[in-house]
Amino acid sequence: MNTTPFNTLSFPGKKNSGDSVVNGVDLSVNFAGIKAPNPFWLASAPPTDKAYNVVRAYEAGWGGVVWKTLGEEPPAVNVSSRYSAHYGKNREVIGFNNIELITDRSLEINLKEITQVKKDWPDRALIVSIMVPCNEEAWAYILPLVEATGADGIELNLGCPHGMPERGMGAAVGQNPDLIEKVTYWCKKYYSKPVIVKLTPNITDIRVGAQAALRGGADAVSLINTINSITSIDLDNMVAKPTVGHQSTHGGYCGSAVKPIAMNMVAEIARDPATPTLPISGIGGISTWRDAAEFIALGSGSVQVCTAAMLNGFRIVEEMKDGLSRWMAEKGYDSIEAFSRKAIPQTTDWKHLDINFKTIAKIDQDLCIECGRCYIACEDTSHQSIAKLTEQNGARRYEVIEEECVGCNLCQITCPVENCITMVPQETGKPFLAWDNDPRNPFRVAS
């Protein structure tokens, strides 16, 4: 009997996982020449290790996939015990750490699977991550093989922080701008499609790496790769996690905890006059549609996700697409491009901020639950700007002493009730004044 697998049954109203229009909004992207039905891509990592996972990801609706890093033969060998987590108090994973290497499967099998998957899923982005030693022959050998798969582009893994640097690859290259430039140059020489350079955050200034990639001819950069990390120590055995036998090593840190670091680095490149139009694929702790929107607003043309998928499965892309498209519709953005970089003009150096701006805290007494957290935070560690009063009926009342408040936001941050404390900009009657021009600045620039 000829049966149809359930998951291929179509019925009216069933969404096609590859639809670029969601809730009436077009989520498609053209990232450095790589087209995808949506900006949600899976980053090069365990979830993209083989055809089985990648097909499941496409079925779930991911717009693109960066295949787990290919390398030279023989393939890497991994240890057992590979991941660890930095937990919040409620066992929610705040940060995630791994000591896995690049693919531990043969190049031949990977290339074969990539070819087949691209053939079966022509509408989705398929990018191949590569890491081979820092010599021209190695790149000249592998790049034609990858080109033959039909994949849409490559991503250079110059950021892997563990295992590979010891072999002169990964972060060992990514931390050296000259090597970034050189490897990128070889890639452009031996490969005709888009080349994305993945940057390591384990450096001092992310812009240097991006500039080097651009000099080498890169079509785009992606960032951040993972951050060197030790997540926790087993205090009984005095060894870090993940524990291999009785030892451990540092791993690569990712997940929600790295998002603020990644966003700053994305913004640094987006704001850099040396790389003003260099496409950026944003990576680092993206777990929700809002995270993605924030990365895009800071200049990302696509976003890559790994940890959130590893913790929840591929299905999360559905909520991400739904949330992002609804928000875009509400804001009137008809494409990803329409709001990409929108937050960049407002992201500046400290010295350009208005020194005359003043905001102060306001406590909504109806919402206040009298926990006293704002009071003790301000009293102990800030500017003693909250008064603790007692009403006639014994109730506590906390009031901002407006003359003392410097508008630091600490009370608002520590308040457990949403919208109870708001920061209210004040009318000072003073003109905009940047520190550059402030008379109090000994190095001021005459305006």
Partner 1 sequence: MISQLNHLPSAKEVGTYDPQTLESNFSDLHPPLTQRQAIIESQRCLYCFDAPCVEACPSDIDIPSFIRQISENNINGAAETILEANILGGSCARVCPTEILCERSCVRNHDAECQPVLIGLLQRHATDNMKFDSHPFKRAASTGRHIAVVGAGPAGLSCAHRLAMLGHQVTMFEAEQKPGGLNEYGIARYKMTDDFARKEVEFLLEIGGIDIQYGQRLGDNLQLATLRKQYDSVFLGLGLGASRALGLTGEQAPGLMPAVDYIKVLRQADDLGSLAVAKRCIVIGAGNTAIDMATQMARLGATDVTLVYRRGVEAMSATDHEQEIAKANGVRMVTWAQPDEILLDAQGRVAGMRFAKTRDQEGRLTPTGETLEIAADAIFTAIGQGFEGDSLRDASAAELARDGERIHVDEMFQTSLPNVYAGGDCVKPGQDLTVQAVQHGKLAAHAIHQALAAKQEAA
Q: Which residues bind partner 1 (CB under 8 A)?
A: 89-91, 367, 369-373, 375-376, 388, 396, 416-417
Rank residues 230 and 371 by Cβ distance to partner 1 and give the closer one: 371
Q: What share of the chain is helix, strand, coil (3-state, %, to 5)?
A: 30, 20, 45
Q: How far is the CB of 231 from partner 1 (least distance, A)?
A: 17
Q: Encoding tokens for residue 332?
A: 């009137």
Task: Tell me the C-alpha distance between 16 and 10, whole Å.
Answer: 9
Q: How far is the CB of 73 from partner 1 (least distance, A)?
A: 47
Task: Tell me the C-alpha distance between 295 and 256, whole Å.
Answer: 13
Cβ atoms 298, 267 nearer than 8 A: yes
- Identify whether 160 is a catalytic site residue: yes
Q: Encoding tokens for residue 158?
A: 């110059």
Rank residues 234 and 370 by Cβ distance to partner 1 and give the closer one: 370
Unique residue bearing structure tokens 């990539």: 114
Of 160, 374, 411, 415, which one is the catalytic site residue?
Answer: 160
Which amino acid is present at 207? R
Q: Say whether the peptide bond before residue 242 is cis (omega within 30 degrees of 0).
A: yes
Rank residues 127 and 411 by Cβ distance to partner 1 and give the closer one: 411
Rank residues 14 and 91 by Cβ distance to partner 1 and give the closer one: 91
Task: Tell me the C-alpha distance between 167 and 128, whole Å.
Answer: 21
Task: Tell me the C-alpha distance between 221 and 230, whole Å.
Answer: 27
Q: How far is the CB of 395 from partner 1 (least distance, A)?
A: 9
Q: What is the largest CA-CA distance in the chain?
A: 87
Rank residues 345 and 394 by Cβ distance to partner 1 and give the closer one: 394
Q: How far is the CB of 417 from partner 1 (least distance, A)?
A: 7
Task: Tell me the C-alpha distance between 67 and 196, whole Å.
Answer: 13
Rank residues 8 and 419 by Cβ distance to partner 1 and give the closer one: 419
Q: Give the number of other Cβ atoms within 10 Å of residue 395's Cβ.
A: 11
Query: What are the φ/ψ torsions at residue 185 (nearest 5 degrees)?
Result: -60, -45
Q: How far is the CB of 365 from partner 1 (least distance, A)?
A: 12
Query: What are the φ/ψ torsions at residue 260 (nearest 5 degrees)?
Result: -65, -35
Exposed, middle or buried, 197 (CB in 10 Å: 0-12/13-18/19+)? buried
Q: How far is the CB of 413 from partner 1 (least distance, A)?
A: 14
Enzyme catalytic residues: 160
